[in-house]
Amino acid sequence: MIDAKTGFARGRHADGSWDSPFDPAKPSKYITEGLPYQYTFFVPQDLPGLIDLVGGREAFIAKLDTLFAKGYYDHGNEPSHHIAYLYDNAGAAWKTQLHVREVMEKQYADTPRAWQETTTPARCRPGSSSALSASIR
């Protein structure tokens, strides 16, 4: 659930109150293998709605920029694989190109044992990572 006040995915209790304390850049008990910052962008069913909810295209792009600039992007976790592509939905395709190229150069190698040679935790998931690498090359 996205908390409209904070603009991030946030746990909500049965009584309607939000989980507190809250920091989108820190692990939360209601998210496995990720941060609220990352899971905020896991709304593939309604990207236009998410863009509106966080304040429009420019605010959405700024939120994505912060995710990458502060090192919150985690390519080693599958729910993050699509995040670089979200810039396209907000009208900043060049930023998708920039970040996808960066991911390819830092997270993938073009060798038979590439999944063991890269620096990402994704190397322990060679099937999904290899499939993604093939799709973006």
**Distance separating alpha carbons of residues 89 and 5, to the nearest angstrom:** 23
**pTM of this structure:** 0.82
- What pLDDT score does 87 carry? 98
DSSP 66-79: HHHHTT---TTSGG
Per-residue pLDDT tens digits for 4-15? 999 999 999 999
Handedness of CA 55, 58, 64, 66 (dihedral sign): negative
Q: Is 65 left (phi over 0), alpha (psi -120 to 50) or beta?
A: alpha
**Distance separating alpha carbons of residues 42 and 134, to the nearest angstrom:** 22
Q: What pLDDT band is residue 123 in, cutting at 50, 70 and 90?
A: very low
Per-residue pLDDT tens digits for 79-114? 899 999 999 999 999 999 999 999 988 888 777 776
**Distance separating alpha carbons of residues 42 and 81, to the nearest angstrom:** 10
3-state secondary structure 54-69: CCCHHHHHHHHHHHHH
